[in-house]
Structure 1
């Protein structure tokens, strides 16, 4: 269905109807559209980094008012009563549903969101700058937590797109030394400009052993590369929702001496609130490549070909 013929959705009880002011283009959208992820809803409208303003309130909503600026992110809803939800790990809820995968997202004029899953956004950022924070920023923030970077530690960042360039700034603001590994010369320039201590090719050895690393590139072949770059006791967190095949690991070289390999699954709302609070206190430089909403397909194509600097953002 084209945008011209789509009907404006109605907010269900507890939901907000949101007019889209900007929507980030995430690699997960690419995985959904390319079939790398299983189909949850045929012909779903992608987009889960949505900045907008409230048009209408569903029954029972008291937290927001029409006109309020809000953010809509990947995690759309959870059951709220399983053992994962009750223990603070709602990102692992078996009944979780996702914006732009289970329900129509922000590549449209309007979308809906449960009020308790909508984010209040920090001041001082444009809609285009805020949009990437709502997935790239949040997932990178969780990945950094999963990597257990010690205070003042040495972090390796593999891949340097929308999520990585935000995560690196969080680590730098906390006193870390950051080494970036990416095949893109432009991304290496951006990394150094943001304060990285070094920026090399994706398979280069780091100038010093790493205390922690985050793999953002969806390339399983980089897992052993990153593991071998770790200091004893270091942790590698894999941030993507999809990864190409990981080659066989050599236990002695890749994992021995208590190196740890961890995955990252979605995020909790606590992750989102903490990242946005951090962005309110520390002005992040959000590198944005804008596209008109009508060129969403071109934005996805450019993202797949690594032609996007920073984050692609659709603007209506």
Structure 2
């Protein structure tokens, strides 16, 4: 197989030829059709997330076809299209797994971080953590749903029944969840980095009621806000933008330090919470909703060999929607 490999933190990925991986007894061998590039991949490459497996094949928004299975997996799944997400395995035995919080598992494996991922022509996945997908759908369009969609959905659930919701950082996750919010009848207020008129126009085209700079106040107080951008300074900005009793949800896996702020921003029962990883229940809930809401992912497609270009474009904010690698 061919794979784009991370050999050390901070270095560009290198194309390598490797033997096709062999699935373990509970695993699938998947021929990758598409793999989206996530901001979490940047955090892995930059060392913001500690102790990645090295050498590593990044990528955790994988869509592909099952080509072989381990001895404990039914061969009936061979030929099926599946999705492989960030959470690649949980222990099933710790207190979190036993109480429906496998996203907080004490001994997890993460695709494209602590196990090889989808920036390749083939990958291996735990059969219990591979989602059955529509065989008629476009794999490129499906790929961003595997993380941007799922983390966006989990973040939206944590925001509660907010009618007016702010989305800070209008990238892959926000452009999906904006569509879900509009389908649910919510008002979306989109915030982008100052001067990013392209992102603001994009948000308005997807039904946002208002779009502006992240250093601007919205025209009305919000019921809740979700922060997808990895910028700690947005936390006090979002607290200023939400009403009494409002909630700010931090939807990223990594964020720069939150600056000192006056207690009055948190007072009046405002709250801040984070979202960590995902659960398989999130997928069972979200994929039918994405279909019913007719969510359309906006993608920029890159050949596998141009993974470094896709990463650079994502880092520089040159991607509207999601970047997707296609082997």
Give the shorter-chain TM-score range. over 0.9
Per-residue deviation at 1:5? 1.9
Does 1:172 find its partner at 2:182? yes
Does 1:278 find its partner at 2:314? no
The residue that corresponds to 2:82 in the other structure is 70
Paired with 2:207 and 2:132, the residues of 1 have a C-alpha distance of: 29
The residue that corresponds to 2:26 in the other structure is 14
The residue that corresponds to 2:64 in the other structure is 52
Paired with 2:134 and 2:213, the residues of 1 have a C-alpha distance of: 35
Per-residue deviation at 1:63? 7.5
Does 1:292 find its partner at 2:320? no
Unaligned runs of 5+ in 1: none
Contact 1:50–1:131 (Cα < 8 Å) also in 2 = yes
Worse overlay, 235-244 or 116-125: 116-125
Say which of 233, 240, 243 aligns to 1:231.
Answer: 243
> Normalised by the size of structure 1, how large is the TM-score?
0.96
Aligned length: 313
Paired with 1:63 and 1:140, the residues of 2 have a C-alpha distance of: 33
Q: Output one character per residue of 1:230-284: Cα deviation in whole Å (capped at 9) or x when no partner.
A: 01111000011110111012111x1000000001100111112211111222211
Does 1:94 find its partner at 2:106? yes
Unaligned runs of 5+ in 2: 6-13
Which 4+ stretches in 1 moved above 6 angstroms? none
Paired with 2:251 and 2:77, the residues of 1 have a C-alpha distance of: 35
Change (3 A) 1:5 1:124: closer
Q: Output one character per residue of 1:137-166: Cα deviation in whole Å (capped at 9) or x when no partner.
A: 00000011112233xx10000010001100
Contact 2:167–2:191 (Cα < 8 Å) also in 1 = yes
> Normalised by the size of structure 2, how large is the TM-score?
0.93
Q: How does 1:50-199 map to 2 (within 5 A)?
A: 50-62=62-74, 64-122=76-134, 125-150=137-162, 153-183=163-193, 184-199=196-211
